[in-house]
Structure 1
Amino acid sequence: MIKFVYLVKRAEHLTFEEFVTYHRERHAPLFKSIPEAAKYVRRYTVSHPVPAEQYPAPGWDAVVEICFDSWADHDAFFTSENYRTVVQPDESTFFVHADISVMVTEERVII
């Protein structure tokens, strides 16, 4: 499985709470709504920081993980008409593309 881990910063016009609400209640369902998500995506998770006084403040507002069985599935999803016209335009309403960091991994479950 190929796993993409995105570190995301919210758009400046949103509070953290507005960002989390939009991400969970608007964007994630929109992502899931396109047929290509069911066909090509094996796992899609969104994680947002919680208060943890013993740790430094995070530099990101979300961690997004998207998993595919293959590069071909990745390409088919991200070049699909539905992704490009439905999901992708929504992204810029709540996060900053220029501030995303991404790591491509091959996930190995240990426990």
Structure 2
Amino acid sequence: MTALAQSHCVHPFASPDTAFAQPNRAMLKVILVPRRNPQMTRPQFFDHLTNHHAPLVKSVPEFTRFLKRYVQNHTRLPAEGADCVTPYRRATDRDSVIELWFDDADGLHRGLAEPRYQELIRPDEARFNDLSSLIILATRESGGLAADGQPSDCKLFDVLKRRNDISREEFAVRWERHCDLLQARGLYRGSVRKMTRNVVVPDDVNPFGHAADFDGVMETWLGTFADAGAIAKLQSEDQEVAESLARFVDRAGSFSLLAVERPIINAPAWTSA
């Protein structure tokens, strides 16, 4: 977990009142995309995430009784074996993607209000993150693709911003249609192990109390990191796919990350630890 209790320097909770299982669309999924504390190197950051913060979170049952799943994703840079093209701007300045599942917003608020979360976990979050630049999104999984059933921990995250002339509702509809189009392409099916769409919740039910900076996160499991290049090529060179994408995504405002998945709590059976 990372810096859950702070976003854009504003504490949103100052007064906290199977192999390819189908997504639980009712469950709240919080996605965080932080930068590391600038005083840390990347190896120090990942060491802290793996060997200190994850065990710390697991040691606080008062909080983890509300946390249904917890997955860390450690980003990989071109110099670290992930030298390939991505569908959108490569955000090499982001160091991880953290995924946290709660039953609902009430469970999230109750977990963050626990005294031992406030005493132990929250202070540690500030030690290894740059809280001023944190991206934090409340989402719900909304369908996806189970392509071949083979385990993989290589992941592509596309953090999507919608065109400013369409609504969030229209964005979600066009995104779903676009994914159907992708799945009809053999190149896509041959590159993807699994895909999930994470749709940002509407502003009026956003537990963080402010409008989200992005509208969705496309989460794709790959055979190898090089498969990200095949997806990028498909979305730029296949005219029908490219035109579909242009109908709902602000490409300049979106970005991609490549990462290795590290499940921490209640990992699904198809992932590799």
TM over 0.5, shorter chain: yes
Q: In 2, distance between residues paired with 1:78 and 1:47?
A: 22
Deviates more, 1:46-55 or 1:11-20: 46-55
Q: Which has the higher contact order (CA 8 A, sep 6+)?
A: 1
Q: Which residue of 1 aligns with 2:121?
A: 87
Matched, 1:58 2:92: yes
Larger radius of gyration: 2
Q: Which residue of 1 aligns with 2:130?
A: 96
Q: In 2, distance between residues paired with 1:90 and 1:107?
A: 28
* Cα shift readout 1:31-71 (whole Å, capped 9, x = no counterpart): 11101333100111111112311134523101111110111
- 2:74–2:97 contact (8 Å) kept in structure 1: yes
Structure 2 letter corresponding to 1:71: A
Instruction: Give the SS at the match of 1:12.
Output: coil
Compared with structure 1, are the counterparts of its residues 57 and 70 closer, same or farther at alpha carbon in structure 2 (3 Å cutoff)?
Answer: closer
Deviation at 1:96, TM superposition (A): 1.3
Q: Among residues 8, 16, 38, which one is paired with 1:12 in the alignment?
A: 38
Give TM-score, length-normalised by structure 1.
0.92
Sequence identity, in percent? Answer: 27
Matched, 1:3 2:29: yes
Instruction: Give the SS at the match of 1:108.
Output: strand
Q: Which residue of 2 aligns with 1:28?
A: 54
Q: In 2, distance between residues paired with 1:8 and 1:83?
A: 19
How many residue pairs match? The answer is 111
Give TM-score, length-normalised by structure 2.
0.39
Q: In 2, distance between residues paired with 1:63 and 1:37?
A: 20
* Cα shift readout 1:5-31 (whole Å, capped 9, x = no counterpart): 000110111100000000111011111
Structure 2 letter corresponding to 1:41: L
Q: Which residue of 1 aligns with 2:244?
A: none
Structure 1 letter corresponding to 2:72: V
- 2:70–2:100 contact (8 Å) kept in structure 1: yes
Q: In 1, distance between residues paired with 2:123 and 2:33?
A: 19
Compared with structure 1, are the counterparts of its residues 26 and 38 closer, same or farther at alpha carbon in structure 2 (3 Å cutoff)?
Answer: same
Structure 2 letter corresponding to 1:3: K
Q: Which residue of 1 aligns with 2:69?
A: 43
Unmatched runs of 5 consecutive residues or more in structure 2: 1-26, 147-273
The structure that is helix-richer by fraction is 1
| 4+ residue runs over 3 A deviation | none
Deviation at 1:109, TM superposition (A): 4.8
* Cα shift readout 1:79-110 (whole Å, capped 9, x = no counterpart): 11011010001111111111100111012353
Deviates more, 1:86-95 or 1:48-57: 48-57
Q: In 2, distance between residues paired with 1:37 and 1:96?
A: 23
Q: In 2, distance between residues paired with 1:27 and 1:4?
A: 17
Q: In 1, distance between residues paired with 2:96 and 2:134?
A: 10
Unmatched runs of 5 consecutive residues or more in structure 1: none
